[in-house]
């Protein structure tokens, strides 16, 4: 662990889910879904404490069974449209009052199991070395030409000028914010009500790790990927 630094991992895990009932504690590769994120964080060389924020007593009980500290999330920040940043702010205050102030927070998405502990540790090393204020996990975007429909129902190009079609080889590198996890300082979060601000960096993950679970189909695909890439322990 980094000397005298309190690096806290916070995993938001609501009780309600739209498509998959009780998603965060549904068995995934033999364990409750949220357990994978907890164990990945607990094995980190840098993360000091692991927390699960939820409005659901059963999820919090499962979290405790796998070694995480529970945070009871108020109902007013646990709705479908509640931003995760509000959860992180609540957790930041809770941990600071009940344990000790946080130097860095790792915000982890419970539905992105396709990651390894080393991803957290490498990202934290980059964060410290480059003196970032915030960082997001990403995967490299392939050089697809993207289109959208305009107000007239006609197609417009989004990321290139179709009249002057560029060679794929000269398209600038782009990154997809994959949502797996974020790093940020408490000051950035509190001053901006946003996990990303100031000097922003990224940690690039393998392409297959961008998969996340939002549907029953995703659940099956991610289980196959976990097993296929040897991430099941």
Q: What is the pLDDT of residues 169-220, one digit of tens each?
A: 777 788 999 999 999 999 999 999 999 999 999 999 999 999 999 999 999 9
Q: What is the pLDDT of residues 135-174, one digit of tens each?
A: 999 999 887 788 999 999 999 998 888 888 887 777 778 8
Q: What does the pLDDT read at residue 182?
A: 98
Q: What does the pLDDT read at residue 80?
A: 83
Q: What does the pLDDT read at residue 3?
A: 61
- Kindly state whether residue 232 falls inside one of the protein's structural domains: no
DSSP, collapsed to helix, strand or coil, labels residue 93 as helix
* Residues with a known catalytic role: 165
Provide the 10 A C-beta neighbour count for residue 57: 11
- Kindly state whether residue 207 falls inside one of the protein's structural domains: yes
* CB burial readout 102-134, b (16+ within 10 A) else e: bebbbbbbbbbbbbbbebbeebbebbeeeebbb
Give the Cα separation of 80 and 222 in Å (integer).
23
Give the Cα separation of 41 and 8 in Å (integer).
9
Give alpha helix (H) positions in the chain.
33-42, 57-65, 84-98, 117-129, 186-192, 216-228
- What residue numbers bound the domain in which 109 lies? 7-140+175-227
The CATH number of the domain holding residue 180 is: 3.90.550.10
- Kindly state whether residue 201 falls inside one of the protein's structural domains: yes
Number of domains in the chain: 1
Please state the pTM of the whole predicted model: 0.92
> For residue 176, what are the β-bridge partners?
139
């Amino acid at each position: 662990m980094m000397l005298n630094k309190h690096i806290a991992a916070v995993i938001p895990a609501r009780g309600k889910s739209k498509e998959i009932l009780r998603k965060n504690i549904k068995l995934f590769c033999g364990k409750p879904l949220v357990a994978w994120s907890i164990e990945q964080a607990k094995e980190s060389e840098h993360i000091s404490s692991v927390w699960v924020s939820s409005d659901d007593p059963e999820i919090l009980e499962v979290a405790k069974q796998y070694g995480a500290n529970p945070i009871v999330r108020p109902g007013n920040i646990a709705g479908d449209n509640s931003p995760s940043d509000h959860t992180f702010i609540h957790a930041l205050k809770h941990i600071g009052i009940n344990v000790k102030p946080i130097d860095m927070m790792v915000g982890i998405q419970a539905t992105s199991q396709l990651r390894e502990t080393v991803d957290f540790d490498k990202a934290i090393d980059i964060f410290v070395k480059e003196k970032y204020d915030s960082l997001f996990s990403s995967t490299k975007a392939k050089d697809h030409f993207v289109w959208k429909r305009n107000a007239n129902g006609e197609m417009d190009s989004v990321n290139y000028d179709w009249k002057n079609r560029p060679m794929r080889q000269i398209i600038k590198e782009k990154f997809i914010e994959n949502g797996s996890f974020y790093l940020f300082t408490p000051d950035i979060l509190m001053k901006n009500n946003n996990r990303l601000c100031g000097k922003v960096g990224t940690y690039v993950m393998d392409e297959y790790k961008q998969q996340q679970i939002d549907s029953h189909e995703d659940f099956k695909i991610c289980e196959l990927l976990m097993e296929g890439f040897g991430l099941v322990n």
